[in-house]
Amino acid sequence: MSGSASIGGLASGLDTAGIISQLMQLEAVPQTQLQSRVTTEQRQVTSLTTLNSKLASLTSTAKNLATATTWDTAIGTSSNAAVTVSVAKSASPTSFSVTVDQTALSHQLGFTGQAKLTDVVTTGSTQVRIDHLDGTTANLETGDGTLQGLIDAINNPTNATGLRATAVRVGTDSYQLLVESIATGKAQDFDLTNTDGTALLGGHNVRAARDAQVTLGAGITATSTTNTFTDLVRGVNLTVAAGTPSNTTAAVTVSRDTAGISATVKSFVDTVNGVLDEADSLTAVKSGSTTPGILAGDTTVRAVRDQLLNTVYPADGTSLSVVGIQVDRTGRLTFDEAAFKAAYDKDPSGVAARFTTGATDGFGERVRKVADAASNSSTGSLTVAITGRNNGIKTLQDSIAQWDIRLQLRRDSLTRQFTALETAMSQMTSQSSWLAGQIANLPSGPKS
């Protein structure tokens, strides 16, 4: 900044500061125009960025719709709450009846003897022996041989016994031991004794482990070590609630989720319309009292908009109207849900082919290609346009900064000029006063 300053019109009586300010306003008109242009360009970039983000999101949505697995829409139902069903989306439609013969149980030993937690309950050593009915055995160290030590040893994860033990209080400071397998199924049978084979805590009562079993029609039975039958029918898992009584029946149905896939397609159409509406709003031209869009006349946005709408028309000349999708007179997509559901129920694979990637690009894939071509992070047409505009804004901002320097130099020059004017006029005023004084002191001429 210059250190020169105006003396404020003390000599001339002029408002030199005001004059300089007005002159600088005129000088700054080109810079003001540049600043206005930057503001407009920044608003346009913001609008383009918003549209680009929507197209990027549409790319992802379209890719999902174009994927064949999205159209695997099986759902399962059961007529009995005690029998639940879960299905893979790829499961084929089917129905069958199931009868519960028995649920899966863990193996339990209830020891008859009673003891305090601090009582030593092992004999011969501080170890006990676990015998599995598959012939494997293992000795387990209890530490001090007490009931509590035995329980802790069984429950210690590092011992990997596959069992859990509980002390059941049956009297004042008196407990009985309950031990059961963590897993269910008849293969979980085990015995627990002293290491010499003698009975522990006076022996035990047994609730034998068992597999779950269900019967399907015509005498077909299925078993499972748990209450879940995985892939009972391909892609179908069936779970029986623990404790379900024998002879409980349920009707299981696997069907296509027509409502679900219809909702997915409707959401997709709404997303496409959202992008079309955004493009229309941004590029709207002035008509009567209508305000033009911030990107009115932008050919890149209009091209993307037109390409997106044209995806409705397949290359083979067929129409999406058979699946409920059409273009209305305003250039937006409409979706007839009833027509779509009817077509999907009649020919699910044929309808899916109209949207997915196959021998020809379906609607979803066509939209994906257009959206990606516009929004791709490196080559997208809108991405490139945004980069170009940002570069242009940077150039304008550099010009504005240069104008700051230029205008400051001009202000300094004007200030110096007016300061020189005031100085000169001040000197002239001083000289005028001196001359007036000298004239006044001149001797008068002789009187006549």
Cβ atoms of 348 and 64 within 8 Å: the answer is: no
Confirm whether pTM is higher than 0.85. no
Cβ atoms of 255 and 269 within 8 Å: the answer is: no
- CA distance linking residue 379 with residue 273, whole number of Å: 24
% the chain with pLDDT above 90:
63
Using alpha carbons only, give the angle 321, 325, 326 rounded to the nearest 5 degrees.
Answer: 75
| Residue 211: other Cβ atoms inside 10 A | 20
Backbone angles phi, psi at 92, to 5 degrees: -85, 145
Q: Considering the chain, what is the average pLDDT of its residues?
A: 88
pLDDT band at 3 (very low <50, low <70, confident <90, very high): very low
pLDDT at residue 368 above 90? yes
Query: Tell me: the pLDDT tens digits for 374-409?
Result: 999 999 999 999 988 888 878 877 777 787 788 788
- CA distance linking residue 89 with residue 76, whole number of Å: 10
pLDDT for 13 equals 61
114 — alpha (psi -120 to 50), left (phi > 0) or beta? beta
Cβ atoms of 214 and 238 within 8 Å: the answer is: yes
Query: Tell me: the pLDDT tens digits for 132-189?
Result: 988 899 999 999 999 999 999 999 999 999 999 999 999 999 999 999 999 999 999 9
pLDDT at residue 65 above 90? yes
pLDDT band at 1 (very low <50, low <70, confident <90, very high): very low
- CA distance linking residue 204 with residue 216, whole number of Å: 37
41 CB contacts (<8 Å, ≥6 apart)?
Answer: 389, 392, 393, 396
Specify the DSSP element, H or E, that contains 381.
Answer: helix 381-441
pLDDT at residue 4 above 60? no
